[in-house]
Structure 1
Amino acid sequence: MKTLLNHCGRWSGKICTRMLFSLFVLCALVVVYLWNQCGQYHTEFHADEKDELPGEAKRPKIVYWAKPPHNIVWTFIDLPNGDGGCDLSFDRDDAPTADALVFVMKTCKPDDLPPFKFRRANQVYIWYSHESAWTSKHFYKHSLTQYDGYFNWTMTHRADSDVVAPMWPIPALDYFLYTIGRTADMIDENLAKNAKLAVEDHRSQVTLLVKMKTNLAAWIVSDCTLTQGARSRTRLVRKLEAAGLKLSKYGKCVHNPLSFNLSVLFETLSTFKFYLAFENSFHCTDYITEKTVYNGFMSGAVPVIHGPSKQDAARLLPKGSYIHMGDFKKLKDLVNFMLYLDHNDTAYQEYFNWWMDPGAQTFPRYGFNFGATYMPRIAYLPQYSHGYVQDDWLENQRFGLYHLCRRLKRGDHINQRHTLPSLADWWYGSEPPECKQ
């Protein structure tokens, strides 16, 4: 610079000023180029970019940038009535042409984000978690403050997510959306409004179900000590057993593993009257997992719930379909109530009255409209036959993908684009104190 100033002294001030300005511009361009090449992100969009229009007849593309930690072999089926119809990729090379990039909470890292040059105006970046806020904060140690102004949509179990992704079976998507009041996201609202199961059919099905029950209660657990919540529920189960609960236990914790194959899971659990749906998080908003939905409802066992608040359970689950631990002052009272239902078929059968609720026939129920002894005359919706429930445990994580696909096909990534100012405030800030401890 000193040398340059010496040269400037030999020229006019105007020429020197131009030279210095040109040098400044050149340096600025180099800095911007290096910044983009380093893969750092920026919080603004190319707002004037026009790469597609709403309603175009193209298949939206969904790309996982931060992949799930397990090996997924999902088949993204094109279901009738508008479900499906999107392409799913786990190859980062497809990111520049994707309509949506998904970032899984477990593997998303601030230093491993797409280069800014990839980001198009009509492309949404989606933060996805099927774990609770407690788990992401205390177990995975994610503060999320590094993502201020970065993600466009959220995809979680919470009803206030941009893409609702609880662990429910795909056929029940409209049923669940109707339950939480997201009717605008439904394909066919009538499916969730109208009950199709006649009283006579219901009576015969429930009678058959009860005849299958030869055991009292089951619990599957593979995480018994890894987290504080897991340790708490393990102690709780031991207290229930001490109070007289006869319990059959499966999973790695008790050295009695059960296959992730859904047919094996349902065949086993369908013989039990109750399933202990105990979460490893307490009172985290809307956090109701496959323990209640798959191990309970789909297998035909009444779930005994601990973890979700009574308010969340009442808002999200069919009325009278479960037993909530919060209704009992003592564990002994809960055990006595379960034993009472075990000896009173009439009272026990009332927990399946929800099968006649509006839309309940879209919900897969093992042995009746899905799985072994499948009866086509009961499954009045052939497009939701058992063939659309993938026969592996990870199937429960596809729910959000189908909801995301619906929104992309509708053009919401173009018409309803926004950015979260603070992902941490949204994910952690609104949770009850019990969930954050």
Structure 2
Amino acid sequence: MFSLSFYSVTMMLRQIAQKYVKWILPIFLFISILSFAWRRSLVTTVFLNCQETEVVKNTSLDTKILTDNKETELVILVWVYPYGERFPLDSCETVYGISGCKLTADRQLYNVADAVIIHHADIMYNKETLPQTPRPHYQRWVWFNLEPPLIIQNLHFLDNLFNLTMTFRQDSDIYVTYGRIEAVKEPQNVTIPPKSKLVAWVVSKWYPGAPRIKYYEELKKYISVDVYGNEHMKLSKQDFYNTIIQYKFYLAFENSIYKDYITEKLWSNSLGTWSVPVVLGTSRKNYERFIPGDAFIHVDDFPSAKELAHFLFELDKDDERYRKYFNWRHHHHVKVSDGWPGWYCKACRVLKEQTEYQVIPSVEKWFLGNASF
């Protein structure tokens, strides 16, 4: 019984196969093709996903691959806020028109930063305060310094570590200044604010024996000077401008005599308040690289402090001669620096433009041994 049933089923299947054989083969081939195509599509998708993952991975590592072909953004790490003074980190494009710059103080981004700006006064007492982990091969270190040799120390810490200099020296890779004189397109009228007082000086750091202190001690024998600052008359930032603008002359005495070292004492304290600056610092020739020669009085123009005092008394009595120190303002105006935000954004702009690689063997030798003026 079993054998007959099995035989019958077998014969039936053979008859069905013979009848429909011309359809079975094409259907089998069609199913095989669909299966192959599906497997190939799956492999391709996995491969592309792997590639995409790798691109994202690489982008997060070095911040240099932009899939939308936009301008490459430089990540600039502010290693330490200078003197602990915080400032906005998002103003490069909105305030200064410098695009493609991301300033950050987050040290966790050290490994992806294109450059690290290190302010010397904040690391000069301990080499361990410099970055201690290996830097990425594309990363550049910028030595930022606003102080003269009188103040800074331990420059030997820096040998073969830095790629660019950022200082008040005009021959720095990144030149930062406390102010500048800009030409105006059309001559402008000049109205000198009323002056009711003679000589002012604002001084915060008093170094006994420093050239400016010695000169003041001699000058005050012959002319009265109103001195503001530590251990002298108090003067708040809010009252600074309205107080100093009353004086005809301002002692823009630098704490050090050094090439291009011309600070806010000239730019904002004196020129910014429309007081004629009496300068002590680098040479007159050096000053005249930055401001007109008839815009200031240099102590070196006089053989002694007594003769300088006599000259100031003369100008006080002669309005016409005094006004000549403002003639340059008909064709120029003073642009006082915005300070930290502007300087750091300028650094980013220079870093974007200056792509050549360099290492400074000795910052100490450059800063101390190349300072002729």
TM superposition score normalised by structure 1: 0.64
Structure 2 residue aligned with 1:401, among 338, 344, 354?
Answer: 344
2:106 corresponds in structure 1 to: 91
2:215 corresponds in structure 1 to: 236
Q: Is the 8 A contact 1:64 1:89 kept in 2?
A: yes
Cα deviation for residue 299 of structure 1 reads 1.0
Residues 1:333 and 2:307 are matched in the alignment: yes
Distance 1:105-1:397 versus aligned 2 partners, 3 A rule = same
User: Highest Rg: 1 or 2?
Assistant: 2
Q: Distance in 2 between matches of 1:53 and 1:323?
A: 55
Cα deviation for residue 277 of structure 1 reads 0.7
Query: How many aligned residue pairs are there?
Result: 308
Q: Distance in 2 between matches of 1:253 and 1:272?
A: 21
Q: Is the 8 A contact 1:59 1:85 kept in 2?
A: yes
Q: Is the 8 A contact 1:158 1:286 kept in 2?
A: yes
- Aligned ranges 1:21-420 → 2 under 5 Å: 52=64, 57-74=71-88, 77=91, 78-79=93-94, 82-83=97-98, 86-108=101-123, 109-117=126-134, 119-136=135-152, 141-142=153-154, 144-168=155-179, 172=180, 195-198=184-187, 201-202=188-189, 205-206=190-191, 209-210=192-193, 212-225=194-207, 228-229=209-210, 232-243=211-222, 245-254=223-232, 256-261=233-238, 264-282=239-257, 284-357=258-331, 360-361=332-333, 363=335, 395-410=338-353, 412=354, 415-420=355-360
**DSSP-derived class of the 2:310 partner:** helix
Instruction: Tell me how large the CA RMSD over aligned residues is.
Output: 2.7
Q: Is the 8 A contact 1:219 1:247 kept in 2?
A: yes
Cα deviation for residue 97 of structure 1 reads 2.3
Query: RCO greater where, 1 or 2, for CA within 8 Å and sep 6 or more?
Result: 1
Q: Is the 8 A contact 2:89 2:104 kept in 1?
A: no
* Structure showing the higher strand proportion among its residues: 2
Q: Deviations over 1:344-402 (max 9, x none)?
A: 22211111222234xx34625xxxxxxxxxxxxxxxxxxxxxxxx7xxxxx43444323
Matching residue's letter, 1:94: L
Q: Gaps (5+ residues) in structure 2?
A: 1-60
Q: Is the 8 A contact 2:165 2:174 kept in 1?
A: yes
Percent of paired sites with the same residue: 29
Residues 1:424 and 2:370 are matched in the alignment: no
Distance 1:361-1:58 versus aligned 2 partners, 3 A rule = farther
Q: Deviations over 1:129-167 (max 9, x none)?
A: 11112321xxxx32x223221100011000010111122
Distance 1:431-1:240 versus aligned 2 partners, 3 A rule = same
Q: Gaps (5+ residues) in structure 1?
A: 1-48, 176-191, 365-388, 390-394
Q: Distance in 1 between matches of 2:341 and 2:87?
A: 11
Matching residue's letter, 1:133: P
Q: Is the 8 A contact 2:250 2:276 kept in 1?
A: yes
TM superposition score normalised by structure 2: 0.74
Matching residue's letter, 1:113: L
